[in-house]
A and B are shown apart, each in its own frame.
Chain A
Amino acid sequence: MSFGAQFLSAPRRLSAGRERDPWGDASVALHLVGGPYLFSGLSREQEAAVRERFAGFCSPDRDPARAAVECRVSRADADEFLAFDVRGWEMTLDFDRSKEAVSVAGLDLMARIEWRPALSAVVWTATRGGAGFVGILENVFRVLAAYRLLEIGGVLLHSTAMAREGGAWVLVGRSGAGKSTLARLGVAQGGAVLSDDLNALVPSRTGFEVEGVPFAGDFRAPSSQTRTLAGIGLLEQGSRSRLTPVPRARALAGVLSCAPYVNQDPHRLDSLLCNADRLLSAAPVGRFTFALGADVWSCLGEPVLA
C-alpha cells in the first residue's frame, strides 16, 4: 500500500500544497524537553483546546525566534481525508521517511517534518477544534518530540519513570509489559510517577535526565518535571521482584525496541544507536521483574548493578 493510502484521498495533493492558509493567527508555545515547541496558525478555538489539554506546559513566550521547534497548522479540505469506520480500530500512523523529511499520515491529518533550515513541521487538517483537533496535534507532537530528542542526543522511550528519593528509574517495556501496573504499585508505596507511557531521556552535564511527557498513559505528566536518571530497567514478566544484571547487547536491544518512531527510520538509525550507546554508559542497566505486592523500591535500590 502506498504512503497515506489508508487515510488520504490524494496524498500528493496535500504534500504539494504546502503554502496553504493557516487556520488563524493564534499560537501556543509549549515548554517541554527539547523545546519550546511553538504551534502556530491556530484558530482561537484550536488555541483554546490546546491550552486546555497542555495547561501545565504553556509558556507565555510565543516569539518564533525563541522556539526550538515550530509546527505550523494549515487548513485542508474535508474531502482530502478518507472517512472510515473507526470502531475497533487501533490508532496507527503511516510514515514516509527520507533523508530530508518525514511525512506522516493519520486519521484526519497529514504532516511533514523537515530538518532544514531547522527542525520544523507542517500539519494539514480539516478539523476545526475540540478534542478531535487536540488528538491530531498530539499525534504529530509525539513524533516531533521523538525526532527533536534524537537531535539533541536523547531518546524518547516507551517506559514508566518513577522516583521516590533522588533520581528516577526508567523501566522500559512495550505495550503489555506492565508499565502502568508497576506505576500504580510504585505510587502506592510512596513514589512519584513522571509518566507510565513515554519518557524523554536527555544528556546533561552529569549524565542523563528524565522528563515525563504529557501524552498517553494513566499517569500523564501534568507539567514539566525533570529528574536525574538513576537507572534503567528492562521490564520482563517474572514471578518475583528483582533487578538482575543484563548484558550490554541485550540492554541496547531493549532500548532500541522501545524508541518509537525513530527506530524505524533508516536515515537516522546511526544517531539513535549513538544516543542509546551513550545512555547505557551513563546509568546502571538491569532486567527488572516484579510481583504484585512486592516492595518495588527496595528492589530498585539493590546494589546489584555495576
Chain B
Amino acid sequence: MIAPETVFRLRSDVRFRRLEPEGVVVRQTEPEVLVVNDLAARILEKLDGTRSLSAIVEAFASDYDVDRAVLERDVTAFVGELHDGRIIESVADER
C-alpha cells in the first residue's frame, strides 16, 4: 500500500517525453521504449519529485468529473505499477 504523502520521481535511468496526445518512456536498464496514453502521460508529468500522491489525486479531481475514491484507487494502482516496474522511485527511498 502506498502512503498518500509519498513523493515519487522518475528513476535516473528513465526518461519521459510528452508528445501529445501520448508520451514516451525510455527505460535503459531493460532496455525498453514504451508509449503511454494521455492519462498515463499526465500522471507521469506530475511525478516530478515535488508533489505527493494525494496532491496529484487532488489535481486530477479538479480536472475530471469522477468519484474521488475511484480516482484515488486508479491513480494509486497505476503509480504502484510504475514503482514495481522500476520506472519511478520514492524520493524517501533515495534518502
Contact = CB atoms under 8 A, between A and B. Distances in A.
Contacts of A21: none
A264 interface: yes
B19 A248 contact: yes
A273 B15 CA distance: 9
A247 interface: yes
Contact of A270 (B15, B19, B23): B15
Q: Is the interface of B mostly helix, strand, loop or mixed?
A: strand
B55 interface: no
A245 to B, nearest CB: 13
B74 interface: no
Interface stretch (A12-20, A26-34, A249-257): A249-257
B35 A250 contact: yes
A247 B26 contact: no
A67 B36 CA distance: 43
Given A257-B33, A266-B13, A252 B28 contact: no
A138 interface: no
Nearest to A264: B31
B17 interface: yes
Interface in A271-287: 273, 277
B85 interface: no
Interface in A233-268: 247-250, 252-253, 256-257, 263-266
Contacts of A249: 17, 19, 22-24, 35-36
B34 A253 contact: yes
Q: How large is the interface on A (under 10, 10 to 19, 20 to 34, 35 or more residues)?
A: 10 to 19
A256 B36 CA distance: 15
A273 B23 CA distance: 13
A266 B22 CA distance: 23
A11 B15 CA distance: 31
Contacts of A247: 19, 21-22, 35
Contacts of B23: 249
A152 interface: no
B12 to A, nearest CB: 8
Contacts of A273: 15, 17, 26
A256 B24 CA distance: 10
10 cross-chain pairs, A with B, having the tightest CB-CB distances, nearest first? A249-B22, A248-B19, A249-B19, A253-B33, A266-B28, A249-B24, A249-B35, A256-B33, A264-B31, A252-B24
20 contacts: A247-B19, A247-B21, A248-B19, A248-B22, A249-B19, A249-B24, A250-B22, A250-B35, A252-B17, A252-B19, A252-B24, A253-B24, A253-B34, A253-B35, A256-B24, A256-B33, A264-B28, A265-B28, A269-B28, A273-B26
